[in-house]
Amino acid sequence: MNNIVFEHVVKAYGKNVIVNDLNMEIREGERLILLGPSGCGKSTTLRMIAGLEDITSGSLHMRGQVVNNVACGDRGVSMVFQNYALFPHMTVKNNIIYGLKAHKMEAAEINRRLEEVLEMLQLKGLEDRKPKDLSGGQRQRVALARAVVKRSDYFLLDEPLSNLDAQLRLRARKELVKIHEMYRPTMVYVTHDQIEAMTVGQRVAIMYRGNMEMLDTPSHVYNMPASIFCARFIGSPSMNIISCQYENGNLSIGDQMIRLAPMWRPIADACPSGKYCVGIRPEHIVLSSRPTETSICGTVKYVEDYGNRYGVYIDVKGEKSELIAICNDSVPRPGENIFMNIDFRKLHLFDAQSEKSLGYPEEIRRLNAALDFSMPDAQNKNQKTGGKYHESFGQYQCV
């Protein structure tokens, strides 16, 4: 099996721990995204898979074998770097086939693979150019072609699209998914861009300060985040996180109180620290001029115009930070009092001390499972490996 397994893997430079006790399986033939902010350890994790970084402790398995001491060239991986790493003195053709010639592949097979990848990545007519004569998007495609033509079992990408403009990025994401679906290598992709992660990945591993915070499908990462960090890191604008009090089924937010839905009460009662944070995404707040049993009141501070929607920043009495709601129309004016209606099916509860999620009611789990467009695992038709993600980041509404 061409899977990758980390068992208690640690990477440290002296006393500085970069990756801390990583335990993870990357399934054969899946697209797994390593996502996180700069310095979280995601590129180091990828480089350990490639054999470009030694492992301080723990074991890394590939094809069922421990590969801690296996050289990079013997691991059967193809890698695409952020800066493309093309040979400046070589033509496009020679850059692409360099690895095949180094492995003494037959000329006929080299030419067959070359023609195939040139056609696939729209590089026909550029074979005799050198990297300095190419645009950024063309260089990126040459780097991809060099990796694809090897037909390796493992396809590793370290922020390969970060130097491209928005339009090229969109096109390149589609090409990457198409390439993967054609050859089905085990693909590990590093990025700090959440849209890339959610659109390319079948599963997303979110890393923070050397630890893996969460590993799940894009749908579950967005709808059921495992921690406050995951909740804030995914989504734009990021999730509203509000400190609150809970007692006898009532939730106190600022100076206001709402009755917590019955399905949430057993979860709230089980909070280890007794200190709570409520999370609600801006697009899941419904603004209204009339109160309901599940609404809190605030005053509009200012409104941001995003072109196709509006971000409404709201002060809640007794709450230190502003809340933001997203709406498409019926935009309130600054200074206006407004009611924020909360849908408990879109609520998130966190332990304020550990910052971990308290979990989700079964009703919400079933709802999110139904929304997760999963695909069957290559080895087990009944095992879910991941889902597709729509770039809209949810539904925006305002009444």
Q: Which of 223, 252, 282 marks a domain boundary?
A: 223
In terms of domains, do 219 and 240 share one? Answer: no
Average pLDDT for residues 310-325, to the nearest whole number? 90
3 state DSSP class of 358: coil
State whether 261 and 340 are in the same domain: yes
Q: What are the tokens at 354?
A: 């550990």
162 with 233, same domain?
A: no
Instruction: Report how far Cα 289 is from the mean position of its chain's Cα atoms.
Output: 36
With a CB cutoff of 8 Å and minimum separation 6, the contacts of 299 are: 314, 315, 335, 336, 337, 338
Instruction: Report the amino acid identity of residue 201.
Output: G
**Pairing status of strand 337-342 against strand 285-288:** antiparallel
The CATH number that applies at residue 304 is 2.40.50.140
pLDDT digits (tens, 9 = 90+) for 115-174: 988 988 889 999 999 999 998 888 888 998 999 899 899 999 999 888 778 887 888 888
The neighbour count for residue 321, using CB atoms within 10 Å, is 11
Q: C-alpha angle 314/319/323, rounded to 5°? A: 30
- Give the pLDDT band of residue 63 (cuts 50, 70, 90): very high
Residues 148 and 10 grouped into a single domain: yes
Count of CB atoms situated within 10 Å of the CB of 81: 14
Q: Indicate whether 372 belongs to any domain.
A: no
Per-residue CA distances from 137 to 29, 83, 113, 141, 175 (Å): 26, 12, 21, 6, 12
Q: How many CB atoms lie within 10 A of CB 235?
A: 19
Q: Same domain for 118 and 140?
A: yes
Shared domain for 73 and 46, answered yes or no, is yes
Residue 171 lies in a domain: yes
Residue 69 placed within a domain: yes
Whether 206 contacts 247, CB under 8 Å: no
Are 130 and 250 found together in one domain? no
Count of the separate structural domains present in the chain: 2
Within a domain: residue 380?
no
What are the structure tokens assigned to 95, written together?
């850059």
Q: Are residues 194 and 74 in the same domain?
A: yes
Shared domain for 218 and 262, answered yes or no, is no
At residue 254, the pLDDT reads: 84
Distance of CA 341 to the CA centre of its chain: 29
Q: Contacts by 219-224 with C-beta closer than 8 Å and gap 24+?
A: 219/368, 219/371, 219/372, 219/373, 219/387, 219/389, 220/368, 220/372, 220/387, 222/198, 222/389, 222/393, 222/394, 223/368, 223/371, 224/348, 224/357, 224/360, 224/364, 224/365, 224/368
- One domain for residues 26 and 48: yes
- Single residue among 223, 257, 283 that ends a domain in this structure: 223
User: Model pTM?
Assistant: 0.86
Q: Which structural domain, as residue segments, surrounds residue 130?
A: 4-223
- What are 240-267's pLDDT values in tens digits? 999 999 988 888 888 889 999 999 999 9
CATH of the domain at 75: 3.40.50.300
191 in the same domain as 131: yes
Are residues 202 and 338 located together in one domain of the fold?
A: no
Q: Which of 198, 223, 248 is the last residue of a domain?
A: 223
